[in-house]
Structure formats: structure tokens, C-alpha cells
Copies of this chain bind each other. A is one copy, B any other.
Amino acid sequence: MKFCSNCGAPVALKVPPGDNLERHVCDACSTIHYSNPKMVLGCIPEWEDRVLLCRRAIEPRHGKWTLPAGFMENGETTAEAAMRETLEEAGARVELGELYTVLSVRHVNQVHMFYRARLLDLDFAPGTESLEVGLFREDEIPWPELAFRTISATLRHYYEDRRGGTFRLHAGDIPPLR
């Protein structure tokens, strides 16, 4: 941020009165511009013993596999965002179950959340952000070809819980790679 989005004047990084963090502050119109983490919402669409994955047609991680997920938009709930992204990326309709993972990715200012979900039919097809969409059994999951660590963490929890017979929320964080 170099200019004030309210008045167009240049902004400066400074700690506003009563605050303890640097913000982009406009001296011309006194607007304080805050920047906050974003949420990425998605789901684990289940069909019998398989889950739906999408191969990414966009950067970052073009060509890698992911659960359907994307940035939550203003004006929607976390559940609506997860269903919308699943429809956009995989053309897939789901019935959402429980919220399953909430994973902070501090070094990129994001929180990724995944719901469990039941795929309603097999009439899915890649959206513009996907190269292909497929169903995978556990032994077919392309672990080294997964796009993000929140995806592999979510799938790892999912198969562990499935073996244990009980699914529960997993909240945690993904540390930076050294």
C-alpha cells in the first residue's frame, strides 16, 4: 500500500495513537488502513470410499492436486464459501457435514478451513481454475503431488479419524518451512 484508498494521498507506516502495531496511515484524511488475514474455505467431498480432488489450472501450484477450496468472499458464511468453491472448481454439488479442520498459516496471513461433505452426484466437471477433477481411494491419493500442506494435513487427519471410527475437529497451525 502506497496511497490512501480513501483520498489518494501517499500513506506512511506508523503506529497510530493507542495502537501497538504499524499501520498504513493517511496524514491527509486520517484514515488508518488495516490489513488482516484471509480465510480459505473448502471441503472434503466424499463418495463411498473415495474423495474428490481437483488438479489446479492456476498458480500457485499449477498442476498440483487440491481439495476444492478458495478465498471466502464478503457477504457469505464459511459454509456457503465452501460450497461455492466446490461448485466453481469441480462443478460438484455437496451436502456439508461438520467443520473439520481450522489451520492457521501464519506466514502467508491465511486460515484454511475444511468441512466434511457428501458428494450428491457424480455429475462433476473441472471449472476454469481446474485441469481435471477425480475421485481417489486412500491408496490412490497423490500425496507428493498435493498443492498445499493444509490439504495433506486435512487428508491425513481424515484417514486417521476414519480408521479410528470417530471424526473430530482439528484446529492447529502449519509452521513455515525452514
**Interface residues of chain A: helix, strand, loop or mixed (majority):** loop
Question: Is A8 an interface position by the 8 A CB rule?
Answer: yes
**Interface status of A30 (Cβ within 8 A of chain B):** no
CB nearest neighbor in B for A104: B77
Cα–Cα distance between A26 and B18 once the two chains are bound (Å): 33
Shortest CB-to-CB span from A130 to chain B, Å, is: 13
A143 located at the interface, meaning its Cβ lies under 8 Å from any Cβ of chain B in the complex = no
Chain B residues positioned under 8 Å from A5 (CB to CB): 1-5, 11, 24, 33
Q: Mark A1-41, 1 if CB is under 8 A from B, else 0.
A: 11111111111000000100100100000000111111100
* Segment at the B interface, from A68-76, A134-142, A155-163: A68-76
What 1/0 mask marks residues of chain A from 82 to 117 whose CB sits below 8 Å from any chain B CB? 000000000000000011001010110101010000
Which residue in chain B gives the minimum CB-CB distance to A77?
B104
